[in-house]
Structure 1
Amino acid sequence: MEKSRKKFTDLIDKAIATANTMDRDELLFSYKGILYPVTFCSTEVFRAMESFEARSDDVILAGYPKSGTNWVGQILNDLIAIFQMKTQNKESNVNDELEEFPYLEIGDIDKYKRMENLPSPRFMCTHLLPENLPRSIFKNKAKILLLVRNPKDVATSFYHFCNAMSPLPSYETWDDFFIAFMTKKMPWGSYFEYLSEWNKYAADENVMTITYEELKENPVLGVENIAAFFGISLTDEELQSVAERSSFKSMKKNSQKTHGAFGNVLFRKGGVNDWKNLFSEDQNEKMDKTFEEHVGGTKLGTKLKYEVYCKA
């Protein structure tokens, strides 16, 4: 069920090589008030994406950077492969090429035309705010799996990621990064605004929210719930297999094959509560206050169990 990731690794390698020739202040550009990395995204691609026509059976994963989208993407790709074997009699070939880079906003302007020819169900992932997605996703009632993670671990993971990935601005200290994270200077925007905006869709019947933490606590139940949401039936054996293949240990072991040199950066720890190694008392208080202001008492805010995962 594992597709070749050559397109994935080629795009990443090219972005890294280009970024290595650039100054830090050249790495990001602004589109509609949000920063994006220039080696991954472009204004032309964002405009081309507006005409993308979603299908009702598209499988869409939405999550802010460092929320676990590569992990859950593995789960969804496996579920789609099982679905295709059962319903289309289509044997999965481990050497199949990944048809497109899975992130909707990353690629070239012809990507969306090529995607018209892909068989259903198509898998796509995005870090975008809901209002910046193609309108057809909501009009055609495509199902969206919304993945959220406690903001302190998101910030911690993002900090290490930025310092290991040349297409993103690096930071000399954690304190410098924390200021950027809290003042909307991150690629793909503010995580708190992300949560606040997606909260408006959290009760929609075509949106299912799952947290990084609950999936960590019970991967088998998480996979079972995700499969049910997308209408994919699994045997107990298939369920166990998908959960095992998507474990951090398994994905880290296969990361060179699936993500190339990028794998070492992507699969760093995959844990919960790493934020306790970085946050000062003052930073804890600032983030607690910001979280409460943006999503305290909301559906997403409650789902995140902030009191459990983010209190010192």
Structure 2
Amino acid sequence: MLVMATTCHKHKPKSSIFVSSLTLLQRYKFFLSFVAVLFSAYLYSTIRFELREGGKMSDIQAESHEELTPPLSLSPPASSSQVTVTENIDNTRQDSTEDLPPPSSPPPPPPPSPPHSSPPLSPSASAPAPAVAPLRYQAQETVTFNLTETCLLFLHRGDITKWFVDGQSDAIVNAANKRLLGGGGVDGAIHNAAGPDLLQACKEIPEIHPGIRCPVGSARITRGFQLPVSHIIHTVGPMYDLEEDPESKLSDAYRSSLDLAKENEVKYIAFPAISCGIYGYPYEEAAEVSLTTVRDSANDLKEVHFVLFEAPAWKAWVEEANELFEQT
């Protein structure tokens, strides 16, 4: 019986084997489904990775191909078809350019100036004197008057050592002493601003009497040195309490300064308050003498300036000028 059973087992029919396989498949269908899902995910990831790496490789190959591409100047000559296309493009551009108006010719260059020639004067240089205070000197306060028909009067409150017009035809007046060796007040300020060369130039002026180079009422002239003006006119005014006729001496000082300015082609002149301060001349009286004198002696001058440092002096000159002249 054992032999028969073994024989029967060996020769089991195929239908029973198929049924057994189906049974096993049903039993493990969930496991097989899970394995199939895992396998599909693996295939999907593998394919996607291969595609991405393939794209990167194509970009790298393209970049390397661009780097290895020779420049345009080293490329072989264009073919006949390319030459034809280029000629057509050039003809089209030429046709479109012909429709545009011709460009205007540039203006001819100005003729070269001859060497060592002076620059042309600006329009303001040849124009008549302005009716307002010039911008070349900025004072704390300025009032302008018509001194004569051709000359303007400027009354500034400020520092006379900084006054100037053009550095060529301008001069300031120094209220000096008889020795012309510097001193206090305006005299000392002008010597300090002009530098030591001014003192040396004053020493070279000959003495007409021992210790006297410039008598009261007269004037002498020097260069401006480190000042912005071209000349310095030195004049000596009277001491108010010591002179018998201080008014005439003060008028002589202004008149001598104006005459010396004209002799040296000065067109712009600036005065301080001569004889005021330590010499004791009252501001009101000095203003009257100075303004009437310059009015009568300002011929051939373009501008007469008074640069007054002290506020009371400036106010006295403005009040006197308002009585004598018309403001601009």
TM range (shorter): under 0.3
* Higher Cα Rg, which structure: 2
Q: TM-score, normalised by structure 2?
A: 0.25
| Structure having greater relative contact order (Cα 8 Å, sep ≥ 6) | 1
